[in-house]
Amino acid sequence: MTMMVAARAIATTTARSVVRSTRLPLQSPLLYVFAERKSHSHTLLIRQMSSEAPSVVTRLQSSGLFRSQGLIGGKWIDAYDGKTFKVHNPANGEVITNVPLMGKRETDDAISSAHDAFKSWSKLTAADRSNRLRKWYELLIAHKEELGQLITLEQGKPLKEAMGEVTYGASFIEFFSEEAKRVYGDIISPTLADRRLFVLKQPVGVVGVITPWNFPLAMITRKVGPALACGCTVVIKPAELTPLTALAAAELSLQAGIPAGVVNVVMGDAPAVGDAILASSQVRKITFTGSTAVGKKLMAGAAGTVKRVSLELGGNAPCIVFDDADVDVAVKGAIAAKFRNTGQTCVCANRIFVQEGIYEKFADAFSKAVQNLQVGDGFGEGVSLGPLINEAAVQKVEKFLQDATTKGAKVLLGGKRHSLGMTFFEPTVLTDVKNDMLLSREEIFGPVAPLLPFRTEEEAIALANDTNAGLAAYIFTNSIQRSWRVTEALEYGLVGVNEGLISTEVAPFGGVKQSGLGREGSKYGLDEYLELKYVCLGNMGGN
């Protein structure tokens, strides 16, 4: 029963994710969030896609990456009962395509396929796995524009930002292709002269990968990269709102020479798929990015077969701006931390605390910068913010705003649905926000920036830590002593000092408290997919 409840909760999970670290152009704080630099060719591409939006699907179909079937054992298949569901473009509500409504039977077969493939994939040399992952990375980069178009089409983020996600997502495959050759064991000094003691590291086995809609490529590669590098095989359940990017990435994995059954993709009936993953004794680990509520239920469901669990869960990120901060740096960093992906990431600055001495100055400069953010269809030139993912997301933002304004918060900028209609929302700045308001207690997951004043460093730390979440935090100060004091006092897994974009494949990503378990990315990310085996060789003193 617990497993069923956990699996059903997957269907309504709130997406979480992160973007790669880079510095922002001062004059355009969000337009080019990722490491991608503006180029003439990319500008032409954006103009072309904007003017020829109806042909995007046709263009993608001709590329061979537009897949609309599940992948099991290296074969593209429909749901066994022929049922499908629709994938929509959030910018206009149009149906992009239909994909299979898969369930328990298809998931069981995908698990069996992954289990069979594990026997051979785990026995390949690390160098062989490394070479195939490297080829996958090269194909992802070679098809960056097509993958970016696909992300914009089904998720809504601006095309430039989407192509940045491809670069970021591919970086995990590249990094773990290199780390595959660096999985080392240990030799332990024996306690008895005739013994030899060793520690081996071996792959966990089949991994259930459950990913969100807000970064439909990067959240897959950040999990699948280390899993495959260690010798594991995977069954991926992408979000029902954005399955097409996952299918395209899986297609490229096959082209890269990753054997059939190593990567499987099923989607559709989330409760049924989740039940199958939780119940299977062949699945030895679940890695999940999503809401804290769903993560708790997955933990309970995984207990039935004692699976390993990695969880990257919800956040309530504080952004603390001290009196001694460089206001220009703080404004640029806070906008980057708040508005990337239209505020739909787990590490978005959810609460912006500003010390009283510069509160008015910061609020004025911040609002002026936010006014320059252009809202529109992701294929439009110069667009900074795309639509929210669906109507439910808009209603949540409206609920939070109503709660705040009825309790005394003032709308300095925005505050309502955008004139473009659909799920577009105006970038919003609120002042006179209090710590007991709903948007201070829970993730907004939208383009709303609440500004809260504080007096002392101690007060800021107490306010920042007054939450069950502990994923990301940001501080802006020119004092090196303060930066150390506050960083050490903050109860968060990630801290950005004078920087709003801090994620990278070479650093560990994850939270404390109720923001999750385990770490993704970096050399530490491999440990989540490895088991330790102690070996004792006895009677080694004889002939």
Enumerate the active-site residues.
312
SS3 412: strand
Find out whether 471 and 314 touch, Cβ atoms under 8 Å: yes
- Alpha helices of 409-491 — where are they, by DSSP H? 438-441, 457-465, 480-489
DSSP string, 453-472: EE-SHHHHHHHHH-SS--SE
Residue 198, φ and ψ in degrees, nearest 5? -135, 155
Q: Where are the alpha helices (DSSP H) in 215-353?
A: 218-230, 244-255, 270-279, 292-302, 327-339
CB-neighbour burial class of residue 432 (10 A; exposed 0-12, middle 13-18, buried 19+): middle
Contact present, 153 and 56 (Cβ < 8 Å)? yes
User: Using CA of residue 351, residue 30, residue 500, residue 26, what is the dihedral sign?
Assistant: negative
Spell out the residues 6+ positions from residue 489 whose beta carbon is closer than 8 angstroms to its own.
461, 465
Sign of the dihedral through C-alpha 177, 179, 182, 184: negative
Q: Which residue has the tokens 């809609």?
A: 213
Tell me the CA distances in angstroms from 339 to 18, 350, 527, one per residue in order: 12, 10, 32
Whether 338 contacts 435, CB under 8 Å: no
CB-neighbour burial class of residue 498 (10 A; exposed 0-12, middle 13-18, buried 19+): middle
Nearest to 217 by CA among 271, 270, 277, 157: 157
How many CB atoms are located within 10 Å of the residue 97 CB? 18
The token duo for 168 is 């970021």
d(CA 57, CA 53): 8
d(CA 375, CA 391): 17
Cβ atoms 330, 362 nearer than 8 A: yes
Q: Cα dihedral sign for 251, 256, 260, 266? A: negative
Q: Tokens for 116?
A: 């069979």
What are the structure tokens assigned to 178, written together?
A: 């290199």
- Start-to-end C-alpha separation, the chain: 58
Structure tokens belonging to residue 179: 């780390």
Are the beta carbons of 232 and 204 closer than 8 angstroms?
yes
**95 forms bridges with which residues in the sheet?**
88
